[in-house]
Amino acid sequence: MTKTEVIEKYRAGFVVHSDKYRICDEEWILDKDNTTESELRFMGYDANLWPFPEWKKFNPEKDFEVKRVKIAKKVTSDFKGKVYLDSVCISDIELEETS
């Protein structure tokens, strides 16, 4: 896929809905400038589209971070390359399967 095709396919980004309040939903928007044929890069925003502080490290103890990664992996499951949410490469994160 070319960079243009990658951007076209993933430009909508994705939303991680809060279990408590809609104001806590997260919008993950494709960073078109830094996305390439082999790397998808998304930037996090709150429900008002205000940028989040940079997410730098995945914490498997935080349920919402696990939920964020699961949704991102589902949305990008057919992408053949690295996927980043802010500074976190989720491509290398292994999550336990839950029923």
Per-residue pLDDT reduced to its tens digit, 13-32 = 999 998 887 778 899 999 99
pLDDT of residue 27: 95
As given in the structure block, the two tokens for residue 91 are 């491509």
Per-residue pLDDT reduced to its tens digit, 29-61 = 999 999 999 999 999 999 888 998 889 999 999
d(CA 69, CA 20): 18
In the chain, where the domains are located: 3-92
pLDDT of residue 48: 85
Per-residue pLDDT reduced to its tens digit, 83-99 = 999 999 999 999 877 64
Contacts of residue 38, Cβ cutoff 8 Å, sequence gap at least 6:
80, 81, 82
Cα-based distances in Å from 71 to 19, 43, 75: 14, 14, 6
